[in-house]
Amino acid sequence: MTAARPGPAASGPARARAARRRWLARNLRAHGFLAGALLCFVLFTWYPMVREITMSFQRVHHGATSWVGLANYRQITADPEFWSAWRNTLEFTGLALVLGFALPFLAAIVINELRHAQAYLRILVYLPVMLPPVAGILLFKYFMDPGYGLFDQVLHALHLPGSAWLASKDTAMPSLVLVSTWSNMGSATLVYLAALQGIPGELYEAAELDGANLLQRVRHVTVPQTRLILSLMLVLQVVATMQMFTEAFVLTGGGPEGSTTTVVYLLYDYAFSYDKFNTAAALGVIMLVVLGCFSALYLWLERRGRED
């Protein structure tokens, strides 16, 4: 005796239920992964921001927390170091943009123009990024030593006077810019290089047929084709350089005479040297607002440029 085979009417609902179970399992897994990522984002990004904003309106006295309104903001803006730190931060940002924005782009153009050794040069440029940041900074501290440093030995070999590098108010900030540019230009160079290699070769061939030299090809082909990447990297570099801390902390300690004390370094001092976490939180909120306004301005200009 053989079992009766299910008819078309019975197998249709069974297949539909099986399909619904597979769809439900697939979506549950996807939403589970998404929930985990969202939870990490909330815990490690949004909660610290909300906590910092809350702390900036509070003060702790003998273990008791109380609301003080804008007292922390008035305290930090009344400190002369606050304005000095902003001047130093803007000076570092301006110098870092001159070097850190132009040099990686020029390096990418040169590497892109070469027909040989591109892979070797890409590794060579990216090598500083693979070093631990503090190790790279300490290497420059050794190079800039006025007694036995490599830089002064090179100057003496060229019959030039040595430099105080990190010990002088005039050279301390440019020295930090040099270190920062060296350690960060590898990533920017690779981003520019990827953008350059996405430009159709026909555009360069047409420019060459029109008699354009290298500078004219860069001006009329490279820059217009990479405008979006250039503007995006400009914003990212401004945001990153305005938060400079490690170079000043390791090399100069904010000196000499406060000439390399940046906003983030002052924030560190308030939190861990003066034990005023709430005032440090107020300074962090001010920095957040400034960078937020700058990013909003960039988005507005970018949208207006697309509309025009």
Condensed to tens digits (0 to 9), the pLDDT of residues 81-119 reads 999 999 999 999 999 888 878 888 888 888 887 777 778
Polymer length of the chain: 308
d(CA 254, CA 262): 7
Segments making up each domain of the chain, as ranges: 21-68, 73-305
The whole-angstrom distance between residue 9's C-alpha and the CA centroid of its chain comes to: 62
pLDDT at 6 over 60: no
d(CA 2, CA 221): 78
The pLDDT tens digits for 147-180 are 788 888 888 888 888 778 888 888 899 999 999 8
pLDDT at site 165: 84
User: Tokens at residue 79, please?
Assistant: 């400190």
Q: How confident is the model at residue 183 (pLDDT cuts 50, 70, 90)?
A: confident
pLDDT at site 288: 92
Neighbours of 252 (CB within 10 A): 22
Residue carrying structure tokens 């390399």:
260
- Give the CA angle between residues 142, 148, 152 to the nearest 5°: 90
Report in angstroms the alpha-carbon separations of 21 from 9, 16, 26, 27, 180: 20, 9, 8, 10, 55
Is CATH 1.10.3720.10 the classification given to domain 73-305?
Answer: yes
| φ, ψ of residue 58 in degrees (nearest 5) | -120, 170
The pLDDT tens digits for 34-65 are 898 899 988 988 899 999 999 999 888 887 88
Neighbours of 177 (CB within 10 A): 22
The residue-averaged pLDDT of 108-134 equals: 83
d(CA 106, CA 128): 17
- Give the CA angle between residues 103, 108, 112 to the nearest 5°: 150
What is the Cα gyration radius of the chain?
28
User: Tokens at residue 308, please?
Assistant: 């025009």
The residue-averaged pLDDT of 191-205 equals: 86
Contact (Cβ atoms closer than 8 angstroms) between residue 122 and residue 209: no
The whole-angstrom distance between residue 299's C-alpha and the CA centroid of its chain comes to: 17
For every residue of the chain, DSSP letters joined together read -PPPPPPHHHHHHHHHHHHHHHHHHHHHHHHHHHHHHHHHHIIIIIHHHHHHHHHTTEEEETTEEEE-TTHHHHHHHHSHHHHHHHHHHHHHHHHHHHHHHHHHHHHHHHHHH-SSSHHHHHHHHHHHHHS-HHHHHHHHHHHT-TTT-HHHHHHHHTT-----GGGSHHHHHHHHHHHHHHHHHHHHHHHHHHHHHTS-HHHHHHHHHTT--HHHHIIIIIHHHTHHHHHHHHHHHHHHHTT--HHIIIIITT-STTTT--HHHHHHIIIIIS--HHHHHHHHHHHHHHHHHHHHHHHHHHHHHHH-
pLDDT at 18 over 90: no
| φ, ψ of residue 64 in degrees (nearest 5) | -105, 130
The pLDDT tens digits for 208-267 are 888 888 788 888 888 888 888 888 888 888 888 888 899 999 998 888 888 999 999 999
Sign of CA dihedral 184, 187, 190, 196: negative
